[in-house]
Structure 1
Amino acid sequence: MSRLPTVAIVGRPNVGKSTLFNRLVGKRIALVDDRPGVTRDRREGEGQLLGLSFRLFDTAGFEDEDPQSLPGRMRVQTEAAVRQADVALFVFDARAGVTPLDEEVARWLRGSDTPVILAANKAEGRAAEPGIFESFALGLGDPVPISAEHGEGMGDLFQALLPHIERAELEAEAAEAESEEEAQPDAPLKLAIVGRPNAGKSTLVNQLLGEDRLITGPEAGITRDSIAVDWEWQGRKVRLIDTAGLRKRAKIEDKLEKLSASDTMRAVDFAEVVVLLLDATRGLEAQDLRIADRVLEEGRALLIALNKWDVAENQSSLFNGVKAALDEGLSQVRGVPVLAVSAATGKGLDQLLGAAFETREAWSRRVSTGQLNRWFEAAVEKNPPPAPGGKRIKLRFVTQVKTRPPSFVLFGTRVDQLPTSYQRYLINGIRRELGFGAVPVRLTLRAPKNPFKTAE
């Protein structure tokens, strides 16, 4: 079972942290008193809020003291709780306004990787309004006005917590799934060779293996089944999969050829990296783009290999023309690696295998939520989302939920109206700036649920 998401309550002494802890836990666990500094150790409990469940930490009041003193040691405990939490709930006293120590806590929280929700406690009545307005200057987003003592503002607190709790649940599920099926560093590279008939796929496999393992010849369509061969390249394990040639669906009349095409696509499903082999003497054709598109739709990493390079004419213009046509024809992924090879002579095959291992590494890459959201905040600041109909789309944060292929969930409000062009802007930024290269990246949009909406 996945662990519960964790929430750490943090703030200077005597702002109502323990009162809020007791309300969310539903019991009077933490001691509450008007004197500051009652809480000294981290206290834990299971919090509940309108159906949300989470592990809650009540921390000691944050004080700017020597680490060797008692207040200083309490601060170290608080910092540890925030590092371990999925989200920090920074509570300040709205009636007292923002103090220098609140500003110090905010500076420290802005430098941490943990997402922060700013909670303006004791916000009942007009006396709290000046303090709420002051808190915008802390740089932690919009404050959530609450009253921990009277239970006011819990619906707004729910809405603020929900995307963070959902993100943590997704990450926990993804981590569980990945730990069960994660590839070991020395696991064989599952490499499928696909392409049109007679592109030289079986010749390529034979050249890599150094033996005539597969039947080859001038006739198209000799290979009918997907053939898997276990092999080693420079001490690294590879599972090579040769497949039947793929023609246009309209030209496939023979029942056996239809079965072969289905078998090829199953081989793609089980591969990690797919090499689309092109015949350089024929260039790039529409069927090649359809095959490449299908590979990327299945979430597999793709390499393009121009075969028969040793007999190709006008090599420079051919190479540049293929790259340009791929960038134009494969709108979901630009910059797919293109390599010139010769299955007959062995030219370029070591570079092809090296690129395949590098591509699998990018396809399996995971970035931390902190690193991802630092990039995300900069990307949104540089190019804010549009406001369709004059209503702002608010993007909160993004998290990676799985690898192989890299998949991300973007949390925000009104995300159903986020244009495809802006989604493509984010996906291209993820690839370019976070080390994913030209592998397929998936982005799912998610808006917070409304707990007050009645089911129809």
Structure 2
Amino acid sequence: MPVAQRLTVAIVGRPNVGKSTLFNRLVGKKLALVDDTPGVTRDWRAADARVGGLDLTVVDTAGLEEVFDDSLEARMRRQTERAMERADVILFMVDARAGITGMDRHFATWLRRSNRPVVLAANKAEGAAARSGLIEAYELGLGEPIAISAEHGEGMADFVQALLPFVKEEEEGEAGEAEVAEPAELDAEAAAAAGLDLPAEPEPKALQMAIVGRPNVGKSTLVNSLVGEERVLTGPEAGMTRDAIAVEWSWKGRPVRLVDTAGLRKRARVEAKLEKLAVADTLRVIRMAHVVVLVLDADGILDKQDLTIARLVVEEGRSLVIALNKWDAVQDKQAALQQMKDRLQTSLPQARGVHTVTISALKGQKLDTLLDTVFEAYALWNRRIPTAQLNRWLKEMTEAHPPPLVDGRRLKIRYMTQVKARPPTFALFVSRPVELPEQYSRYLVNGLREVFGMPGVPIRMLLRKGSSNPYADD
């Protein structure tokens, strides 16, 4: 039976014609930053969508600029060209209300010469003010324009109809072969003897890895070095990245969803509306991540803003890995490492033993070590400890250092169990939980880290009132 293939559609056009608004409309989420300021989008981003029965991969791109030097605008244009090369169809957007500009005509000519499949969309076409611009769009020589409104969702049916001629179909695998129901306990050896194939292992879910840090510490350079291509814009300009850009990737056969984020400055210095949107986007990415790699500049290790970001990651319960970038330029490496360890010990005790890797993103040094560390931190973040083992450890800890006396009576710790992972979260049942000092909770948390080998992992301790230990006979 024929099945429609997924179609990759790259949305291109001059700045501020509504490309990101359409992208968000199609994917059904506000993934791309949208503002009236021209040139908000700098890197291209892709997301899956299903519109009118069509499965699409929609690509949002930076505004096309007629610049060919080494400026930021020229680098943005080259990024857009890379996105276009990967697309099945190019959706060229113009602003029907503003009319057809000289830049629109220039890029329409360029697209005609490229011999790429192009669909012309006239955006902001709602109302009488757009009629003249819609008629002018015919002059571009790209066929009949589709009248749409990305803001209000108008013209989506016509949009789907325009894409249908480019959808290819492929045959499904041999149909009609009955699948053999296999017992759940059938092992590989028995299956082979019976001439059966066991069901395939489910595909592992992608590890969500966010790259964060202050502006200009090398986050985007690190992303490009990891994936082996110039996927995101880099350059000397601070604040280059605005949108959080996700890259689907795999390392040693393990799927990774790598997210580059905007640099986080001190809150008092975040003034412009666009930067506030970018910061909010970065915070959203941190909350969705499994492992957060905090990139530090080796010339300025762990300043106040770095520590603020690290605390935020730990408070959100994400697994933290620190990458000391530009390490090749450091003269006294031993002193720099000691400085960072001392600062972490005093200023970030809630993530004692956090994994740290020295790298050079530009030269690609120790990136395999960084990724090994990321997956190790991810495994620890998913760690579960059996309840019986926990309570044997708890007994040893309380015998070595009994809970304090309160009002002349000693607090009684009944038992402990792990209630969840990601991050590891433990319920501690106490006779009077409100009275248990924070120092004693920290003593137990530090003991968990040391005995069960969970350095740097955010550990949560929930105090509960309990009268007896249901695991006493384990």
- Residues 372-451 of structure 1 mapped to structure 2, 5 A cutoff: 372-448=390-466
CA distance in 2, matches of 1:364, 1:370: 19
Of 282, 287, 297, 1:264 maps to 282
Contact 1:386/1:393 (<8 A) preserved? yes
Of 382, 386, 391, 1:368 maps to 386
Contact 1:410/1:443 (<8 A) preserved? yes
- Residues 132-143 of structure 1 mapped to structure 2, 5 A cutoff: none
Deviations 1:84-107 (A, max 9, x none): xxxxxxxxxxxxxxxxxxxxxxxx
Alignment of 1:235 with 2:290, yes or no, is: no
Helix, strand or coil for the counterpart of 2:350? coil
CA distance in 1, matches of 2:422, 2:237: 36
Contact 2:352/2:456 (<8 A) preserved? yes
CA distance in 1, matches of 2:417, 2:205: 27
- Residues 160-175 of structure 1 mapped to structure 2, 5 A cutoff: none
CA distance in 2, matches of 1:320, 1:338: 12
Helix, strand or coil for the counterpart of 1:289? helix
Contact 1:191/1:241 (<8 A) preserved? yes
Of 362, 369, 383, 1:344 maps to 362
Helix, strand or coil for the counterpart of 1:332? helix
Alignment of 1:300 with 2:315, yes or no, is: no
Deviations 1:180-205 (A, max 9, x none): xxxx7822111100000001000000
Query: Alpha carbon RMSD of aligned pairs, Å?
Result: 1.4
TM superposition score normalised by structure 1 = 0.57
Deviations 1:234-267 (A, max 9, x none): 2211110100000000001111001101100100
Deviations 1:90-147 (A, max 9, x none): xxxxxxxxxxxxxxxxxxxxxxxxxxxxxxxxxxxxxxxxxxxxxxxxxxxxxxxxxx
Alignment of 1:275 with 2:293, yes or no, is: yes
Residue 371 of structure 2 aligns with which residue? Answer: 353
Deviations 1:313-358 (A, max 9, x none): 2111001111110121112121111110000011111000000001
- Residues 3-402 of structure 1 mapped to structure 2, 5 A cutoff: 186-402=204-420
Helix, strand or coil for the counterpart of 1:326? helix
Residue 102 of structure 2 aligns with which residue? Answer: none
Q: Which amino acid aligns with 2:348?
A: L
Q: CA deviation at 1:397?
A: 0.4
CA distance in 2, matches of 1:389, 1:185: 56
CA distance in 1, matches of 2:294, 2:425: 23
Contact 1:193/1:242 (<8 A) preserved? yes
Contact 1:393/1:412 (<8 A) preserved? yes
Q: Which amino acid aligns with 2:415?
A: F
Contact 1:201/1:242 (<8 A) preserved? yes
CA distance in 2, matches of 1:332, 1:306: 20
CA distance in 1, matches of 2:301, 2:461: 33
CA distance in 2, matches of 1:441, 1:304: 18
Q: Which amino acid aligns with 1:275?
A: V
Q: Which amino acid aligns with 1:226?
A: A
Number of residue pairs aligned between Structure 1 and Structure 2: 267
Q: CA deviation at 1:391?
A: 1.4
Deviations 1:275-297 (A, max 9, x none): 00001122220000000000000
Helix, strand or coil for the counterpart of 2:463? strand
CA distance in 1, matches of 2:237, 2:331: 23
CA distance in 1, matches of 2:453, 2:383: 8
Q: Which amino acid aligns with 2:394?
A: F
Q: CA deviation at 1:218?
A: 0.4
Contact 2:289/2:318 (<8 A) preserved? yes
Q: Which amino acid aligns with 1:413?
A: S
Q: CA deviation at 1:431?
A: 1.4
CA distance in 1, matches of 2:220, 2:280: 18
Helix, strand or coil for the counterpart of 2:351? coil
Q: Which amino acid aligns with 1:209?
A: V
Contact 1:281/1:313 (<8 A) preserved? no
CA distance in 2, matches of 1:448, 1:381: 19
Helix, strand or coil for the counterpart of 1:361? helix
Contact 2:352/2:455 (<8 A) preserved? no
Amino-acid identity (%)? 53
Q: CA deviation at 1:310?
A: 1.1
Q: Please, which runs of 5 or more residues in structure 2 have no aligned partner?
A: 1-201, 468-474
Q: CA deviation at 1:433?
A: 0.9
Q: CA deviation at 1:389?
A: 2.2
Helix, strand or coil for the counterpart of 2:443? helix
